[in-house]
Structure formats: C-alpha cells, structure tokens
Amino acid sequence: MRVVPSPELSEGVDSIYTILRENLENMDSDALSHTEAGIIYSVSGYVTRYIHCDCVPCAMAHEITTDRTHFEAMSRGGWVTPNANILFFCTVATTAFNILVLPPYKNTFLSVKFHRSIFVKALIKVLHEFIPILRNCHHIHHSLTIYFNILAKNFLRKENDSVLQNTCFRKIHKLLSRSSLS
C-alpha cells in the first residue's frame, strides 16, 4: 500500500473541501436527471452488494426517491436493491463529483494528486459537518472509495470520447486509416 504524503493530502483536502462546502450546502437531489438518478440507483445497488450500511439512521437517506421502474425492468439475477444510506452516499458523491468537473473547478480538482483519497476525505468532512450523526458510520469511507472509482472511470470515458469527437482528431484518424490500407 502506498503512503500518501500528508502535506500534499491536507492541502488538497482543504481546497476540495472548500469547493464542496460552498456548493453542496444547497444540494438538491432533484437536480439530477432522471437517467442519472436511475444509474445512481443501479450502481449503489452494486456498492450495496459489498457494503450494507445500517450504522446510523440517516434521515436524509430516506428522502431520496427514485423511479424504480427502470431498475425493476432490468432486474435480473445479481441486481441488488440499494441500501438507503448507500444510495444517499452515492447521490451526494455524484453531485459532488459533477461540481468538481465543472469548468470553474475542474483544473483545481485535476491538478491535485491522490484524487480518490482527497475526494473521499473532503466529502466525508463536508458530510460530517452537515450531518453530524454520520460520524458514527463505519462504512462511508469504503462506500465512497468504491463509488469514486466508478465515477472516475465514467468521467475518463467521457473525456476520451470528447477528444475522439474533435474534428481535427477525426480527420487525422481518417487519414491514417486510409494510408494504412494502401
């Protein structure tokens, strides 16, 4: 296991914490699109397969409602209905990640080292501040770590797709593919 230097980590956590605290204070779970909410529901079910969190009864967790018809229509063996707390953590993490990849904050987030560690620690710090009872939860760190990997992988895929859609890149790719056939 790699040890993260503490000065770099604490500086990164502080800068990301400041961004998240300012923007998550007025978090609205209804701001997520219907498709995104369905995806969060399905993926938080995946996280629930590994972690079942009933440490604390988080009242905010039960406020998140999702249209389950998409999930139930696809539910074939192996799909798990997410735990309310895990669904809450994943919803907040998605909102936080979406904030951090917006143009005003994207460079700050991408310039820090140890993205996952910093994201998880900063988000936990914000959640503990807004919902003090979550300090008693033993599963939040592991849940957010698993979920961050999924968020980061999807973000990277979107970034790669946007580069591939660049007109100049497509022209070069087209030129190279034709010349390699000759």
pLDDT at position 67: 55
Predicted TM-score (pTM) of the model is: 0.78
Average pLDDT over residues 147-168: 82
Average pLDDT over residues 134-145: 90
pLDDT at position 180: 47
DSSP 8-state code for residue 33: -
DSSP 8-state code for residue 28: -
Q: What is the dihedral sign for C-alpha 167, 171, 176, 177?
A: positive
Q: Secondary structure of 46-101 in the HEC alphabet?
A: HHHHHCCCCCCCCHHHHHCCCCCHHHHHHCCCCCCCCCHHHHHHHHHHHHHHHHHC
Among 41-45, 91-95, 119-123, 164-168, where is mean pLDDT lowest? Answer: 164-168
In degrees and rounded to multiples of 5, residue 143 shows phi and psi of -60, -50
* Spans of all domains in the chain: 6-181
On average, the pLDDT of the chain sits at 79
